[in-house]
Amino acid sequence: MEVDKGKGEAEETRKVAEADRDTVTLKSSDGKLFEVSKEAAARLSTVLAGMIAGGSIDDNGTDLKQIGSEALENVVDYCNKHANSIPSAALISSSISFNTAPFKEPEEWERKFVDRLSHDALFDLVEAANFLGMERLLDVTCHKISEMMKGKSPDQIREVFNIKNDYTKEELEEIRQELAWAFYDD
């Protein structure tokens, strides 16, 4: 995905060409450049759509200082894959969650896309999706993280996510009075 910009290219020609280009160039916090389809970027990210509409896209690479190159590569990868996939019924239909809002189930390729990520890459990606206002990618990544919590005891959840238990013994004892079952791994 990394793009080597032709240095000999004249500034004028480039400016003229920019309007007609069907890709945008994004620059990660560590200075790497990525190219992504303008149509997909505008459709999947409210932030990029706003920047494209507002003309604040820099042809030399739009600075995204909050996003590292690994996360940005995944974002761009997701946009490209999304552009190539045919939306199926899963995108339109929604399953009713126990809690409140209905969530769209991830599609097969989206599942595979997040399954191959390491924990760190996944958390980087969820933040990048949030920053760029990519609702669909945020849905998919949040879904994946919630899957990692399912059916686990509090101890197991702490282990998976490397969380420090900051409940005191007294607090836990009090909660146990109310919610004993939640402590068991059954």
Per CB under 8 A, residues contacting another protein are: 45-47, 50, 66, 97-101, 103, 119-120, 123-124, 126-127, 130-135, 138, 142-143, 145-146, 149-154, 157-158, 161-167, 172, 174-184, 186
**Is 35 or 127 the residue whose CB approaches another protein more closely?**
127
**Is 76 or 126 the residue whose CB approaches another protein more closely?**
126
Q: From the CB of 91, what's the least distance to another protein, in Å?
A: 17
**Is 21 or 119 the residue whose CB approaches another protein more closely?**
119
Burial of residue 133 (CB within 10 Å: 0-12, 13-18, 19+) is: middle
As a whole number of angstroms, the distance between CA 149 and CA 158 comes to 10
- Per-state percent for the chain, helix, strand, coil, to nearest 5: 55, 10, 35
Q: From the CB of 1, what's the least distance to another protein, in Å?
A: 21
Q: From the CB of 4, what's the least distance to another protein, in Å?
A: 27
As a whole number of angstroms, the distance between CA 8 and CA 14 comes to 11
Q: From the CB of 146, what's the least distance to another protein, in Å?
A: 4
As a whole number of angstroms, the distance between CA 96 and CA 113 comes to 23
**Is 92 or 179 the residue whose CB approaches another protein more closely?**
179
* Length of the chain counted residue by residue: 186
Strand-pairing partners, residue 107, are none
